[in-house]
Amino acid sequence: MSSIPDAQPARPWRPEDGPRPKVWTWPATDRPALKVMSGGKWRYAPVRARQDWPDGTVRYQVEVDLGGDTTIRTVTYQWPQPGLRVARRSSVQPTRGVDEHRQGQMPRRGPAPT
């Protein structure tokens, strides 16, 4: 077991928080990732989005298997905290818009059944 506490999820934005956070995303083919401490183990978590809140806090929305049972959940964490680490950096800058050229390709279909 690790002495590092499990990462604590952040609550979602509410209207009483003021202006909505600015949301940044990366291309599906080059997303950064975090390590998330859960159940005493580090779990790999690709980042879906970064949220910059008006109060100056930063939150990352990640896809993570918290229990090690292959069930992927989308969870948002406030950065920094002891139960989060950088696992992978992206080689591109995030964007606030949707850039179809940066989102990756659809999977190719296999040969037609005969």
Q: Which tens digit of pLDDT belongs to each residue from 64-103?
A: 999 999 999 999 999 999 999 999 999 999 998 765 554 5
CA triplet 96, 97, 102: central angle to 5 degrees? 105
The mean pLDDT value for 49-61 works out to 96
Q: What is the pLDDT of residue 97?
A: 78
pLDDT given at position 33: 98
